[in-house]
Structure formats: structure tokens, C-alpha cells
Amino acid sequence: MKPLEPEKWNRKRAAHLLVRSGFGATPAQIDAAVAQSLEKTVDVLFQIPKNVEPPKWITPGVAFKPDFRGMNALTDDERRRLRRLYQRESAQNARNLGIWWIQRMITSPCPLQEKMALFWHGHFATSIRKVKVPYMMYKQNQTFREHAFGNFQKLVTAVSQDPAMLVYLDNTRSKAGSPNENYARELMELFTLGEGHYTEEDIKASARAFTGWQMQPTRYEFINNTRNHDSGKKTFLGQTGNFDGNDIIRIILEQEQSSKFMVSKLWNFFAYENPSTKIIDELAQTFRDNKYELKPLLTAIFTSNAFYSKKAMRTQIKSPAQWLAGSCMALGIKDPDPNLSANAMRTLGQELFNPPNVKGWDDGYSWITTASLTARYNLANQLINQRKRIKPTEDKKRRRFGGYIVDTADVLPWNKRNRLEEARSHLEYVVYQPPLAKEDRAKIDSFFDTLNPVSDWTDADVRNILHVMMSTPQYQLT
């Protein structure tokens, strides 16, 4: 891949890199990246934070399956009540999980790790609607984080042994003699090769190979149950042997196709849709040369000239996660209101941990419907004008609200308010990051020209300006 020439490293491209490899970027972060080289900036993207604070409800007990039947000391009624309590708690935890993740996207010191986790969540799509147990979804999420930009073969293996996935695609019910083909099929069709690069016979053979990869009966843990494994001879993608799941994964990744398949998915996600075969072939070569290590591949993508080309700049429709986390970052919201966060993701069509089906989200144009675009405009207004909730006290039962969550003096500091041009370009930087096209910039300019002198701007004026800037088609793109 032709790398970006060092002298082309500037604010615009730095903003593009930070926003695409993460969820947003502040002017300070962009300026710091420009001051460093491209190489150094890319290198820093991969620094994994030591500790990820888990959600509060993650306690040692949640790793075990509740055994209501075994609670002999309880009456039927007590057991029923306990079960109901457990279900209510599960529902709460499930909701909390999505809120927790959005918050991580906003605050993580390694946004790329969260961005990749989001990519893997869409790629290895698994839904809590079938899995039911929030802990399993959390565990899978941590697996995505752990292997975010590690080795793809290791990741595929971890996913093939991931409890949530074992449940979601039924491998935990697959046994010698009655193999379930669900996982084997999707592994090839959606996770590694793409349709048309294997036969129905390959699916049958690999389903047999994966028999015995199950979930433990009492804990949400993987077990290789050899008693249920079909150890017979299988022929898979032209090779014959007494294969198990590891062999299948190895053989799949021996196919050049799997490197191309993954590279084009990653390129679509980070850069733009429908790249040339030349780009795919070159990057796929890099991927194979590095034994499916993701870091060298991602580095090649982020340092390539094509990643900064016209086709890539400000052409991507923000996913709801990108929209929400990015909006919070732009507005300085570290800890968005949980209700707003959950409601926004549902309304905008990307309920985390609940993708529509095993294909994940469609991305791109499909994020935008008349309803979701209207909701984006209205949610921006809500984010900007939301007030802090004050917990109800004994004497004052009603929920009360305090000051605004968004501090306009943070978003537009006083020292940026000397001249209109200064205030405007700072706000554009905060809200849009990579600069707008000339034509769109002119539109924004004409809006600013109608405003009072900067020195007269009130708090409400700045909020209104932000509302206008974020309720635009341009804001939906990055």
C-alpha cells in the first residue's frame, strides 16, 4: 500500500484518523496528534489500558447458572418469587450493559479497542434475545476487547468456544450422531469466507468436527466434551483427517479467501465501501504475511494514502454508537444519562448486544430512516439541553433537576470568543472534526452571519448554535 506522505499529515487527516479509529476527538487531541508524526499517532492507538472497570453487577456469583430446581429447602412459591427476581435483575443488567459500553466508548483511553470490539460485535453478531444471560454477553464483549487487534486465528478460536456464541448458534447442543450445522455454516458464510467458497458437504463435515465444543452444565464456561465429539474421519475443503474445531479453523485460514474476506470487511468499516481489488489484494497479502495478526494490518490501513483519499473523507454515515459517543465527546458529556443513552440506541436502531440477526447491523445508509434522522435531530437537542438529575430525597419526593449537564463555557471557552471567525472555526472543529466541504462550510457561515455579535452570546445562544450545527445532514457524516 502506498503510504501517506509525511508532509500531508495535518489537522484534517489527524481528525479523520482519530474519529474513524475511535468515536470522536477533541480539538486538543487532534492538535496533539498533528504535533506527533502519523506513525507515532497510529502506534499510540494500540496502547491497551490495563484495567477495564467492569459493570457493577459483575460479581463472582454471576458466572454460575442458577439452580432453582435444586433449592429443595424452598417452597414452590418462594422458588417462583426467586426466579422472578432473577429475571428482573437479568433484564436490568442487560440494559445496563449497553449503557456501560457506551460510556466506555466515550471515556476509554484506547478508543480503537472499543471500536474494534464494536466491529467484532457486529461481525460475530450474537443477541441477548437468544442468549438471555447478560453475563455471557459481557464475557463475549471482554473476549472482543482482549483480542481486539490481536491475532484473528486466536479470536476465531475464542469465539468458537465462547459461551454466548455456543448458545446463540446452537453448537452447545451439537453432538456426535446429531450434529447441529448452525455454527459451522455461519462460521464460513459470515465469519471467515463468505458465501460461495465452501460446499454443503464442507458444512456437514465441519459441523461434525465442532461436536463436543459445549458450555459447562453449571457454569457459563466452555468445555471440550470429548464424549460428545465425533472423532471420525472428515473431508473438509479438500483435506481429510480426524478433524476437530481447531483443525477446521486452521484449514479455513489457510484459504486466501479468508484474508480477503476479512480485509474487505475491515476496510468497509474504517475507510469506505467497495474498495478496489488492488487494495484488498495488497492488504490481504499483508494480513497473511503477518500470520493473521491484526495490528500490522490495521497499521497498514491507517497509514495508507487511500485511507485519507477523497473517497474516505467525511463520507461515512455515523453508526448510532458513533453518533452518540461522538456527540457526548464533542459536548463534554462523560457520563450520559442512562435513560437517554438506552433510549437513543434503541430509537436509532443499534441496540447493543441485540443485533437484528446473525449478520449484524447493515451499516451505512440503512442507519438512516425518516424516523431515525428526525430522532437524531431531536436527540441532539436533548443532549445539549439536558439538566442534571437530582436524586429525590425523603422530604422532596419528586425528581428534581439541577443545572445543565453540558457546560457551554467548556464547549466554547471564553478565550475563543474574541471574534466571530474564531468562535465559528472553534465550534466547527469541536462539532465536525474533519472540516466540511467548501459548499457546506458556506452554509454554516451564512447561518453564523445572522447571529448577534459574539460578545453578546448568552448561554442559551451557544446551546442554540450547537443545536443547529448538530441537526444537520452534515453532522451525520464523518
Partner 1 sequence: MKRREFIYTTAWGGTIGLSAPSLFADSTSKAEPIMVVIQLAGGNDGLNTVVPINNDHYYAARPKLGLKPAETLKINESTGLHKNLTGMMTLFESGQLALVEGVGYPNPNRSHFRSTEIWHTGSDANKVESYGWLGRYFDTYCADQPASVGLTIGKQNPQAFAAAVPTGVTFNDPRKLQVKKARGNQNMMMEMMGIEEDDDSVAGDSIGSLSGGGNIPRSGNSDPLSFLEKTATEANISAQQIDAILKKVKPEHQFPGTRFAQELKIVSQLIRGGMPSKVYYLSRGGFDTHTNQVGAHAQLLKEVGDALLAFNNELEKTGQNQRVVVMVYSEFGRRVQENASGGTDHGVAAPVFVMGGPVKGGFYGKRPGMAPGQLIRGDIAHTTDYRSVYATLLEKHMGVDSKPILLKKFQPLEFI
Binding site for partner 1 (CB under 8 A): 127, 129-130, 315-317, 346-347, 349, 356-359, 362, 365-366, 368-371, 373-375, 377-378, 381, 439-440, 443, 446-447, 450, 464, 467-468, 471-474, 476-477
- φ and ψ at residue 388, rounded to 5 degrees: -65, 140
- Closest CB to partner 1 among residues 130, 396: 130
Q: Which run of H or of E encompasses 384?
A: helix 370-385
Distance in Å, CB of 462 to partner 1, minimum = 12
Q: Long-range contacts: 283-287, Cβ < 8 Å, 24+?
A: 283/1, 284/256, 284/259, 284/260, 285/259, 286/1, 287/152, 287/259, 287/262, 287/263
Locate cell 440503512: which residue? Answer: 366
Locate cell 485519507: which residue? Answer: 308
- Closest CB to partner 1 among residues 182, 246: 182
Locate cell 483443525: which residue? Answer: 247
- Closest CB to partner 1 among residues 104, 197: 197
Distance in Å, CB of 234 to partner 1, minimum = 21
- Closest CB to partner 1 among residues 31, 170: 170
The residue ranges of DSSP E strands in 327-469, in sequence order, are 387-390, 400-404
- Closest CB to partner 1 among residues 111, 349: 349
Within 8 A by CB and 6+ apart from 90, the residues are 132, 133, 134
- Closest CB to partner 1 among residues 319, 472: 472
- Closest CB to partner 1 among residues 428, 440: 440
Distance in Å, CB of 378 to partner 1, minimum = 5
- Closest CB to partner 1 among residues 237, 348: 348
Question: Cβ atoms within 10 A of the Cβ of 37, count?
Answer: 12
Distance in Å, CB of 145 to partner 1, minimum = 26
Distance in Å, CB of 380 to partner 1, minimum = 10
| Contact by Cβ (8 Å): 279, 268 | no
- Closest CB to partner 1 among residues 408, 471: 471
Distance in Å, CB of 41 to partner 1, minimum = 26
Per-residue DSSP letter, 349 = T
Q: Which of these, 172, 177, 175, 176, lies nearest to 216 by C-alpha position?
A: 172
Beta-ladder partners of 241: 234
Distance in Å, CB of 467 to partner 1, minimum = 4
Distance in Å, CB of 131 to partner 1, minimum = 11
Per-residue DSSP letter, 476 = G
Distance in Å, CB of 316 to partner 1, minimum = 8
Within 8 A by CB and 6+ apart from 460, the residues are none
The torsion angle over the Cα atoms of residues 427, 428, 430 and 432, rounded to 10 degrees, is 150
